Structure 1
């Protein structure tokens, strides 16, 4: 029995933000129908919900996903193409760029980042631009390569970082500003205990990506379908809840600044901070 070809095994996912899953699936079904109209073959019937994001993003059959700018620019540049990025209508965003909200407990709401020298930070994970690398760049502006925090812990997710702050297990965290806005809607009691004391510098927002093996014609159809979706009346509930209000076509070169900044601070000796 012959195995299915790699071309026939195609996958789509939108795993990065805590959007309502039924509405996210509805969004994919709309994109799927539009892609069919544009002539795109072999479309997955439904979204995948991967647990191992890096493994998923490396699949040659990945048709569409959303990633983070750090892995795209440092770990995946040979394996993916960037389609573009959504625009989000939340504090800390500007067109296709975004920042991280610096969150603390409400009792520390009057402090600035410089006041957290010697205190405890929590990050979601080391490959996160918003939760780790953005905060590292801000700390470097204050302390250079010298240790700044007394402890840097890793929680596994932005949601878990917020929980650790509220529980007193850490003192400051950087949360992707879109995640911050969406999670605060979902867990108002938790986020009522926290305060935002500022935002990191703007960086390219979370990229929509496809496999490096995806043809130029398919890339064009994907960008067209995503752009067209913004005008679809039946998707406005999804866009409202997802805080999406635009889309910009981009490519890998737009994310090189993220890799460059990380390489600069590693080269300067700021491996531990």
Structure 2
């Protein structure tokens, strides 16, 4: 099978491109040592990423279980060391302006929400779940806008163009370390329930033998001290194999939530 690209787009901040490239170099080296062929030398960065045949990529659990359901095999789930991760599960942070007086999510009734995308679990799906108990008689938010990215959502909060957003916890931690100005004027109101973190994936046609090679290569990579230093620059500590149906909780959250914000 011909693979076309490797991509790690979800946490690829402009400020961490060097670290992300170094991470891929380490992974690619480990893949080659395991005898995996046609390993891309560099990461693909561009539009329509998932329309290409993936050698290795990372994808949010919502498109994994919706738009791309049946398209990919999960290689492993990454483990990140931040306050918003517990094992292979992560949280989002419900974010408001620093001057906002709200103490809990219910206080935000009638406010303006900004989401990164309707195909995002961390920025949209989980927020639907959280406001569902408050929407029996009326909609919760007065206005919903779409920013296109978590960082852009934060910008709208800072500029008071929106009142609330749900931000991926790892994105928050990375901005806190590498671009703290992006969080200036924002604060965390509350945290969301957990869900499995965005998965490392490959194409569904990948054989079980190749899948095991990927997994063993990941394990070997984290056994290398030099690679660990690179990975920890991106909060990445290891990976874990979890049941693929673990991601079904995301569709279950959708099932019991309101249809739209």
Deviates more, 1:137-146 or 1:71-80: 137-146
Mapped contact 1:104–1:171 kept (Cα < 8 A): yes
**1:141 is paired with a residue of what secondary structure?**
helix
Q: Which residue does 1:48 correspond to in 2?
A: 44
Mapped contact 1:103–1:194 kept (Cα < 8 A): yes
Q: Which residue does 1:16 correspond to in 2?
A: 10
Q: Which residue does 2:252 correspond to in 1?
A: 260
Unaligned runs of 5+ in 2: none
Unaligned runs of 5+ in 1: 1-6
Query: By how many angstroms is 1:259 displaced?
Result: 1.4
Post-superposition CA distance 1:177-200 (Å, at most 9, x none): 000111222332331311101110
Post-superposition CA distance 1:159-208 (Å, at most 9, x none): 00000000000001000000011122233233131110111001111111
1:1-273 equivalences under 5 Å are 7-18=1-12, 20-56=16-52, 59=53, 62-108=54-100, 110-144=102-136, 146-265=138-257, 270-273=258-261
Number of aligned residues? 259
Mapped contact 2:129–2:256 kept (Cα < 8 A): no
Mapped contact 1:68–1:129 kept (Cα < 8 A): yes
Query: By how many angstroms is 1:50 displaced?
Result: 3.0
Q: Structure 1 146/230 Cα, relative in aligned 2: closer, same or farther at 3 Å?
A: farther
RMSD: 1.7
Mapped contact 1:10–1:43 kept (Cα < 8 A): no
Mapped contact 1:147–1:272 kept (Cα < 8 A): no
Mapped contact 2:126–2:253 kept (Cα < 8 A): no
Post-superposition CA distance 1:252-271 (Å, at most 9, x none): 31101101221333xxxx32
Structure-1 separation of matches of 2:44 and 2:50: 14
Structure-1 separation of matches of 2:120 and 2:139: 20
**2:8 is paired with a residue of what secondary structure?**
coil
Structure-2 separation of matches of 1:139 and 1:145: 12
Structure-2 separation of matches of 1:16 and 1:272: 23
